[in-house]
Amino acid sequence: MPLTLMSGCATGIGAATRQALEAAGHQIIGIDIRDAEIVADLSTSAGRQQALHEALARCGGRLDGLVLCAGLGPQTPDVGKVVSVNYFGAVELLDGLLPALQRGTAPAAVVISSVASAHLLWDKNPLAQALEGGDEAQAQAIVRGAGEHGGNLAYAGSKNALTVAVRKRAGSWGQAGVRLNTVAPGATETPLLQAGLQDPRFGESIAKFVPPLGRRAEPAEMASVITFLMGSGASYVHGAQICIDGGIDAQMRPTQF
């Protein structure tokens, strides 16, 4: 039975993915701010270190899988927390758990990014230097100083940097024998999306974000792709970002891929 660690497993895409992975035979150790085996706040350095410490203790220093779903949306009141959870909450777990994954059987990791990650170019990302340099305080200051644009910048900027971080690790992780990929969901029926729809700043634009398939995704549709990427059927998929967005990225950027 594969032993897999998950962050953000209590609701939304994470909860659906946990259910799908358990149905596929995985034993899950979950991290979340509630309703999980490890209760930790990934928006703080102390919380991330606590999560790592407890995770390594629970798995005995050996993991077969890692799925990082924890994330915050642009409507989060403190936009600084968005960059902390979305970027540092993923990258620090990735780096901290790589040795445990190297000891696993056919190890694989999947990180949940966003279709928004591709709509902000890396060389135009105001957060790129601070995030890649590990300067959490500076990244928080940038988004908190961006006024009404802070939420969107925090979300798109952190997800763009997260996908870049994964892609830049493809070489070293491949050499370590651990597959690593991202998925990029579009609009998905989750509590996070509902919170965005109810926010007067973002509700209208989110409501208009309708893909060619004409509907939003269900969390289970994300979970099925993540489960595939974690399994033997995806044994040669590494360093990829898979869009699960109903065609919105193709519609918006047909010549960029």
User: What pLDDT is attached to residue 193?
Assistant: 60
Locate 201 and state its tokens.
Answer: 């700043």
HSE-up (13 A, CA, CB side) for residue 229 = 29
Whole-number Å distance between alpha carbons of 246 and 35 = 30
Q: Hey, what amino acid is at 48?
A: R
DSSP 125-161: -TTHHHHHTT-HHHHHHHHHTSGGGHHHHHHHHHHHH
Whole-number Å distance between alpha carbons of 40 and 177 = 29
Whole-number Å distance between alpha carbons of 245 and 167 = 20
CA neighbor of 32 nearest in space, from 22, 21, 24, 40: 40
Tell me the pTM: 0.93
Catalytic residue among 87, 88, 155, 209: 155
* Cα dihedral 146, 95, 52, 35 in deg (nearest 10): 60
Write out pLDDT tens, residues 75-113: 999 999 999 999 999 999 999 999 999 999 999 999 999
- Cβ atoms within 10 Å, residue 215: 10
- Determine whether 155 is an active site residue: yes
Q: Are 30 and 47 in contact (CB under 8 A)?
A: no
Whole-number Å distance between alpha carbons of 255 and 36 = 42
Confidence of residue 195 (pLDDT cuts 50, 70, 90): low
Q: What is the CATH number of domain 3-243?
A: 3.40.50.720
Return the domain boundaries, the chain.
Answer: 3-243
Write out pLDDT tens, residues 23-43: 999 999 999 999 999 999 999
> Above 80 in pLDDT, residue 197?
no
- Residue/partner pairs of 150-153 with CB below 8 Å, 24 or more apart: 150/79, 151/73, 151/74, 151/75, 151/76, 151/79, 151/82, 151/201, 151/202, 152/74, 152/202, 153/79, 153/126, 153/127
SS3 239: coil
CA neighbor of 239 nearest in space, from 188, 186, 175, 187: 175
Which helix or strand (DSSP H or E) is residue 196 part of? helix 191-197
User: What pLDDT is attached to residue 190?
Assistant: 72
> Above 80 in pLDDT, residue 194?
no
Percent of the chain residues past pLDDT 90, beyond the cut: 87
Average predicted confidence (pLDDT) for the chain: 94
User: What pLDDT is attached to residue 210?
Assistant: 78
DSSP assigned state of 85: I
